[in-house]
Amino acid sequence: MFHHSAKLQYEVRVDKPNPQFARHLQQAIGGIEGEIRVAMQYFFQAMGARGDAKYRDLLMMTATEELSHIEFLGHAVALNLEGAPLSLQEEAAQDPVVNAILAGTNPRHILSSGLSAMPVNANGVPFDMSHVYATGNIGADMLANATAEAGGRVLASRLYNMTDDPGMKDMLSFLIARDTMHQQQWLAVIEELGGLEKQLPIPNSTPTEHEATAHSYYFLNTSIDEPTPEGRWTSGPSLDGRSEFSVVENVEPLGQQPSLGKARPNSGAQNEQL
């Protein structure tokens, strides 16, 4: 069961409406870095959560907060569309600056939504849920969540730098701050579970005998004309503490040359393939 307050989570103020910026804000709603993505990701992770119930609660509460972000971003889109000309015959559309803005807007804000937000990205493509990651493995999901929040914070930072509207900057500074917290909380779960060393490899429940461990910790230099990029991943103890990193130069293939042989009769192949 969900409860809803009539008041937004954070104040939304647009001092100077900008239809072009409304289109940019759509990425924060329906883009792969946006709020629909993380709300659904945390929601489905919560529904599939097993183990300590507090992690399910953490996910569900954060999913609900992300729904709040969709709501106030949608309001920001609508406020930025205030006064946008509905036809080229309107007086406002005769202004060359307005016409320049119109060239960068999403026409569906007029044609489909009546000057309000939609569940689409900045190019008008609907969010299709293909970037919702919920594996049922808490280690994999927490890493995916930290990555999602990192992408969201990058986007919010870019949007902040694209506007000079004080109200929009204030709202985006709030989103940037919440992205900071969400990054921290997902990584804190991993730390609480023993940190990366204890959680890696994911899934850590896979029996060792199911893994060809001779191939688990070497870096392959697959370049024909570049030296191995030396780094933390080429020498020293592995991050899970199970082995040492090494490098394989002059990589030799371990498999066979693939050949499917002749085609089967009645398979629709040419006679020469049979």
| Cβ neighbours for 192, distance < 8 A, ≥ 6 positions apart | none
248 forms beta bridges with 220
Digit-coded pLDDT (tens) for 5-28: 999 999 999 999 998 899 999 999
Two tokens at 212? 């060809």
Using the structure block, give the residue that is written with the tokens 């490098």. Answer: 247
| Residue 221 contacts residue 245 (beta carbons within 8 Å) | no
What is the three-class DSSP state of 122?
A: coil
pLDDT band at 98 (very low <50, low <70, confident <90, very high): low
- Give the model confidence (pLDDT) of 47-83 as tens digits: 999 999 999 999 999 999 999 999 999 999 999 988 7
* CA-wise closest residue to 149 among 195, 188, 182: 182
CA 115, 121, 126 angle in degrees (round to 5)?
Answer: 90
